[in-house]
Amino acid sequence: QSALTQPRSVSGSPGQSVTISCTGTSSDVGGYNYVSWYQQHPGKAPKLMIYDVSKRPSGVPDRFSGSKSGNTASLTISGLQAEDEADYYCCSYAGSYTHWVFGGGTKLTVL
Amino acid sequence: QVTLRESGPALVKPTQTLTLTCTFSGFSLSTSGMCVSWIRQPPGKALEWLALIDWDDDKYYSTSLKTRLTISKDTSKNQVVLTMTNMDPVDTATYYCARIRTSGYDLSDAFDIWGQGTMVTVSS
């Protein structure tokens, strides 16, 4: 069982927006602004999409945005495109004992 | 350009020790703030953080696996090595190494560059 809780799956039609939640505790998501999100296509390595809760690395489309409220972080993808269909994982720093924790992953289907 | 590449055996027997090597380029693990981590993913399952080594040779481990893991670095070879003892079929997974930088960089505290992963199967 993963430390962070994500919905198993979400879906949306091209052009729509979807939001993926990532729920942790005050010891991880709620305690630090070191939440990141990763996109993983089948058979590929994860790719960083969001870091520090809401920052985008260079080259990531601005359709991807992140936010946090309390112990829950969220990834929103607007203007869905077919190539957005993938698994998405959240990750949070969890302090000097646990260090890093991942979510269970969410499969995004573009209908 | 920053790249990382994992290497190691594709098959290990139960109770054996696994040794994986991450060879990287485009950065130095002797530069302040630079770190390399190992992360694994069982088939069809989620990512799991395993270990991290930083530029100062500080080492950090998953609490659930720390008794079985050892991470080390060879700065001159640009390599990070992970050993995992007493392998079990549940350890069957793709093992990734990834770079992470601590605060002080524009992009820090996230796994920004990943290797392609190496699949390890534990079976007799």
B22-69 tens-digit pLDDT: 999 999 999 999 999 999 999 999 999 999 999 999 999 999 999 999
Shortest CA gap A47–chain B (Å): 7
| Nearest alpha-carbon partner for A78 in A91, A90, A61 | A61
Evaluate if residue B104 carries a pLDDT over 90. no
DSSP secondary structure letter of residue B78: T
Percent of chain B with pLDDT strictly greater than 70: 100
Q: Specify the 3-state DSSP secondary structure of A71.
A: coil
Q: What pLDDT digit, counting tens, does each position of B56-74 carry?
A: 999 999 999 999 999 999 9
Compute φ and ψ for B44, nearest 5 degrees: 70, 10
**What's the DSSP call for residue B90?**
G
**According to the model, what pLDDT value does residue A1 have?**
73
Question: Is the Cβ of B115 closer than 8 Å to some Cβ of chain A?
Answer: yes
Task: Using an 8 Å CB-CB cutoff, list chain A residues near B114.
Answer: 45-47
Choose from B36, B41, B47 for mutation: most chain A CBs within 10 A: B47
What number is the average pLDDT over the span B93-101? 97
**pLDDT of A97 above 90:** no
Please tell me the distance in Å from B22's CA to the nearest CA on chain A: 14
Mean per-residue pLDDT, B113-122: 98
In the three-class reduction of DSSP (H, G, I as helix; E, B as strand; rest coil), residue B77 is classed as: helix
Q: Please give the average per-residue pLDDT across B77-85, as a whole number.
A: 98
Model pLDDT, residue B92: 98
Task: Assess whether pLDDT exceeds 80 at residue B103.
Answer: no
CA atoms within 13 A on the CB side of B81: 10
- Could you read off the pLDDT of A33-71 as tens digits, one per residue? 999 999 999 999 999 999 999 999 999 999 999 999 999
Identify the closest residue of chain B to A96 by CA–CA distance: B60
Among residues A37, A28, A12, A48, which one has the least CA distance to residue A101? Answer: A28
Q: Distance (Å) from the C-alpha of residue A32 to the closest C-alpha of chain B?
A: 11
Q: Residue B32: what are its φ and ψ, rounded to 5°?
A: -55, 130
Residues 59-88 of A with CB under 8 A from B: none
| Secondary structure in 3-state letters for A6-28 | CCCEEEECCCCCEEEEEECCCCC
Instruction: Judge whether A45 is closer than 8 Å to chain B, CB to CB.
Output: yes
Burial class (CB in 10 A: 0-12, 13-18, 19+), B1: exposed
CA distance A38 to A43: 14
What pLDDT is attached to residue A96? 85
Closest to A104 measured CA to CA, from A88, A82, A93, A83 = A88
